Amino acid sequence: MSNMLVKRGIAVSPGVAIGRAVLFGAENFKVQRHYTSKAEIDAEIGRFHAALDAVCADIEENQRVATERLGSDLGAIFGAHLLMARSPELVGEIERLIRVETNTPERACDIVLNKYAKLFSDLGSRYHAERAQDIYDLKNRLLRQLLGKRRQELSDLAESVIILAHNLTPSETANLKKEFVLGFATEVGGPTSHTAILAGALELPAVVGVGDFLSEVNNGDIVIIDGDRGEVIVNPVESVIAERREAQKKSDANYAALEVDRTAEPITADGERIQLLGNIEFPTETEHCLERGADGIGLYRTEFLYLGRDVEPTEEDHYQAYCRVIDDLGGRECVIRTLDLGADKVPTSNGMFAEVPNPALGLRSIRLSLQYIEGFKTQLRAILRAAAKAPPGSVKIMFPLISSLYEFRQAKMVVRDVMDDLEEAGVPFQREMPLGMMVEVPSAAILADHFATEVDFFSIGTNDLIQYTLAVDRGDPAVSSLYRTGDPAILRMIRMVVDAAEKSDRKVPVTVCGQMSSDPKFLPLLIGLGIRRISVTPHSIPELKAVIRRLTIPKSKDIATHSEWLGLSRGVDNYLQGELFKICPQVGH
Ligand code: PEP
Ligand code: MG
């Protein structure tokens, strides 16, 4: 009988990957019944003892610290834990399950410690219930040691695998080696979470927000990640593997046919030139954008320079990264966004940020830069110096998460300060530097007419704008159905910004750089709303170009008017999907 399992999640990066699973991270894992071969038994016993030693060393350390700070009575609590962990009955029983019944150490610890915990909790008293919790805690520590090793091993993968994890932080995702990772799926994560964006940057098929499923998978199981349909298929039967391979071949051929047009300009059928720029997280992606015919970089998320390192990048690190992008662009436009760092992008566990109640509303992004001026200046110096190599005005600085005019003015003043410092020190830098802002907080959209008198450009960050307008966490799969890109409130915000920019004396240019603009379905709507510049995931460029070349401005305007009239986002989505199919069936299928 087949034990195939199909799970649905959120498709965040297209393509189909088929390979063996590696379960990444131990937290919340239930251990499956899983046996080892006889030849491995001694090694498995050794692995168990190594894990036990590590756990005991941890407990001893806790005991030492507790005794020192709180006295020996409280320190003794850990002494009891230690006795339990080293108990000969417990250790003997786990060893027996590994040796005689050929269970994995994970499975053996799970069985034995669950059994003892249950015996205690069945005794019924509060005291015994607490002891049961201690045993569960011991089990989790052991499992973390046994399974958690895999976290370090991720960087040492030697064969191509599918990564399955409860969660992948942006830095873990950024460090996935493309040679060894075919695709990934996570239990948590939302459609525009940073992990999802990185999957797109790495061009790895990915599905997030699958919900609990890791307990039903073993390391080494064959898994399909279908990043087009948002499916994870564990232990697929042969016919399903063949069907998905076929579908992938067709979609590759379709994509290749669209890519042929890479040198064609993104001009609508009635002659309107649309600026089609790329979003990048790493300098190496500039090439991906140019290969696909991008006009330049519309969003360089520089915070990714920080991910996966323990020390802050120096001015030279920043400078080298920017020079690389600027050199590759050969004079084309390059919008460098200053650090958009915060606890929402960097896990608190790496110590860079303290745990805060609501990181999305906390000290992130430009707020952090303005509090930590020295770091901000370091980055600005590097940008201004690197931009000296580019034609004046082609490199632009963009500030993220601006929520008030005051904030924009402050940021602008810091740029002026840095220019003065460079001038004084005789360091060459770019003086002609347009300064713009992301519109990703509702207050910025509402006051766009005020901002338009001071900024050189706007870039609408729909990922955050949706999150803050609809009060829906962009990374939380529990509310992903409420994260509605086509919501009337979002359409109205975009229209407000375009109108304010158009009415301004300076005709401030407006780009859309959130994920909305990478989805071909929304493109006619955006153009109909007056958008003429989009900055997108590199992979989506050929599709978007194909749609642009088949559109006309009057048709786009009709589509925008009708969408605004529809009111409900679900209706908007269906309508736009239907229109896309009519305009460009090869993309809208
Ligand atoms: C956005 O919020 O839409 C955006 C482009 O920025 P990020 O996804 O990096 O927050
Ligand atoms: Mg944002």
Cα-to-centroid distance, 581 and ligand 2 (Å): 30
Ligand at minimal distance from the CA of 511 is 1
Q: What is the pTM of this model?
A: 0.76
Q: For residues 551 and 522, what is the distance between their CA atoms, to the nearest angstrom?
A: 12
Q: Which residue blocks in 262-364 are alpha helix, DSSP H?
A: 285-291, 315-329
Cα-to-centroid distance, 559 and ligand 1 (Å): 25
Q: For residues 139 and 141, what is the distance between their CA atoms, to the nearest angstrom?
A: 5
Coil, helix or strand for 460? strand
Residue with CA nearest ligand 1 atom 1: 461
The closest of 465, 461, 463, 462 to 443, measured between CA atoms, is 465
CATH class of 302-433: alpha beta
Q: In testing the pocket of ligand 1, which one of 463, 467, 472, 515 has its CB within 8 Å of the most ligand atoms? A: 463
CATH 1.10.274.10-classified regions of the chain: 38-146
Cβ neighbour number for residue 11 with a 10 Å cutoff: 21
Asked whether 113 and 136 are in contact (CB, 8 A), the reply is yes
Q: For residues 366 and 354, what is the distance between their CA atoms, to the nearest angstrom?
A: 17
Backbone angles phi, psi at 338, to 5 degrees: -70, 165
pLDDT on residue 156 = 61
Cα-to-centroid distance, 401 and ligand 2 (Å): 7
pLDDT on residue 345 = 63
Cα-to-centroid distance, 12 and ligand 1 (Å): 15
Cα-to-centroid distance, 440 and ligand 2 (Å): 6
From the CA of 515, give the closest atom in ligand 1. Answer: 3
Q: In testing the pocket of ligand 1, which one of 300, 464, 473, 483 has its CB within 8 Å of the most ligand atoms? A: 464
Cα-to-centroid distance, 462 and ligand 1 (Å): 7
Ligand at minimal distance from the CA of 490 is 1
Asked whether 162 and 232 are in contact (CB, 8 A), the reply is no
From the CA of 194, give the closest atom in ligand 1. Answer: 8
Known catalytic residues are: 194, 513
Residue with CA nearest ligand 1 atom 6: 461
Q: For residues 475 and 459, what is the distance between their CA atoms, to the nearest angstrom?
A: 21
Return the amino acid letter for 460: I
Asked whether 208 and 10 are in contact (CB, 8 A), the reply is yes
Q: Report the CATH fold assignment for 5-28+152-249.
A: Glucose Oxidase; domain 1 (3.50.30)
pLDDT on residue 150 = 47
**Largest CA-CA distance found in the chain, in angstroms, rounded:** 82
Ligand at minimal distance from the CA of 459 is 1
Q: For residues 512 and 491, what is the distance between their CA atoms, to the nearest angstrom?
A: 12
Beta strand pairing call for 296-301 and 222-226: unpaired
pLDDT on residue 275 = 98
pLDDT on residue 350 = 47
Residue with CA nearest ligand 1 atom 3: 461
Q: For residues 384 and 396, what is the distance between their CA atoms, to the nearest angstrom?
A: 9
Show the CA angle centred on residue 213, arms to residues 116 and 232, nearest 5°.
160
Q: In testing the pocket of ligand 1, which one of 341, 441, 513 has its CB within 8 Å of the most ligand atoms? A: 513
From the CA of 303, give the closest atom in ligand 1. Answer: 9
From the CA of 464, give the closest atom in ligand 1. Answer: 2
Q: Quick one: tokens of 444? A: 């910025």
Cβ neighbour number for residue 298 with a 10 Å cutoff: 29
The closest of 410, 346, 406 to 377, measured between CA atoms, is 410
C-alpha distance from residue 54 to each of 50, 62, 458 (Å) = 6, 13, 53
Residue 206 contacts by C-beta under 8 Å, 6 or more apart in sequence? 11, 12, 13, 183, 184, 185, 196, 199, 225, 227
- Domain 38-146 CATH (choose: 2.70.98.40, 3.30.70.330, 1.10.274.10, 3.40.50.2000): 1.10.274.10
Asked whether 417 and 358 are in contact (CB, 8 A), the reply is no
C-alpha distance from residue 336 to each of 296, 301, 433, 459, 549 (Å) = 11, 7, 11, 12, 28
Q: Quick one: tokens of 579? A: 């229109």
Report the pocket of ligand 1 as residue ranges, CB < 6 Å.
197, 299, 301, 340, 440, 461-464, 513-514
Q: For residues 548 and 525, what is the distance between their CA atoms, to the nearest angstrom?
A: 11
Ligand at minimal distance from the CA of 193 is 1
Cβ neighbour number for residue 42 with a 10 Å cutoff: 11
Residue with CA nearest ligand 1 atom 8: 463
Q: Report the CATH fold assignment for 439-455+464-530+539-589.
A: TIM Barrel (3.20.20)
Residue with CA nearest ligand 1 atom 7: 463
CATH 3.20.20.60-classified regions of the chain: 302-433, 439-455+464-530+539-589
- Each residue's pLDDT, cut to its tens digit, for the chain (589 residues) gives 578 999 999 999 999 999 999 888 644 455 555 677 788 889 999 999 999 999 999 888 877 876 776 677 767 777 888 898 999 999 999 999 999 988 889 889 988 998 898 888 788 776 776 777 778 778 878 887 887 644 445 666 677 899 999 888 776 787 777 888 999 999 988 888 878 888 888 889 999 999 988 878 888 899 999 999 999 999 999 999 999 999 889 888 888 888 777 788 999 999 999 999 999 999 999 999 999 999 999 999 999 888 766 678 999 999 999 999 999 999 999 999 999 987 666 554 445 556 678 889 999 999 999 999 999 999 999 999 999 999 999 999 999 999 999 999 999 999 999 999 999 999 999 999 999 999 999 999 999 999 999 999 999 999 999 999 999 999 888 899 999 999 999 999 999 999 999 999 999 999 999 999 999 999 999 999 999 999 999 999 999 999 999 999 999 999 999 999 998 999 999 999 999 999 998 887 7
Q: Report which DSSP code applies to 454.
A: T
Q: For residues 496 and 153, what is the distance between their CA atoms, to the nearest angstrom?
A: 49
Ligand at minimal distance from the CA of 197 is 1
pLDDT on residue 1 = 58
Backbone angles phi, psi at 512, to 5 degrees: -110, 125
Cβ neighbour number for residue 195 with a 10 Å cutoff: 27
Asked whether 572 and 528 are in contact (CB, 8 A), the reply is no
pLDDT on residue 412 = 98
Residue with CA nearest ligand 1 atom 4: 461
What is the residue whose two structure tokens read 């992948």? 168
Q: Which residue blocks in 268-391 are alpha helix, DSSP H?
A: 285-291, 315-329, 365-371, 373-387
pLDDT on residue 349 = 45
Residue with CA nearest ligand 1 atom 9: 301
Burial of residue 479, with CB atoms counted within 10 A of its CB: 0-12 exposed, 13-18 middle, 19 or more buried: middle
Total residue length of the chain: 589
Cβ neighbour number for residue 273 with a 10 Å cutoff: 12
Asked whether 313 and 339 are in contact (CB, 8 A), the reply is no
Q: For residues 49 and 311, what is the distance between their CA atoms, to the nearest angstrom?
A: 34
Helix (H) or strand (E) holding 535, with range, is strand 533-536
Q: In testing the pocket of ligand 1, which one of 173, 304, 340 has its CB within 8 Å of the most ligand atoms? A: 340
Give the chain's radius of gyration (CA, Å): 27
Residue 110 contacts by C-beta under 8 Å, 6 or more apart in sequence? 30, 31, 139, 143
Asked whether 208 and 190 are in contact (CB, 8 A), the reply is yes
Asked whether 175 and 200 are in contact (CB, 8 A), the reply is no
Cα-to-centroid distance, 460 and ligand 2 (Å): 9
Cα-to-centroid distance, 314 and ligand 2 (Å): 24
From the CA of 279, give the closest atom in ligand 1. Answer: 5
Beta strand pairing call for 296-301 and 333-337: parallel
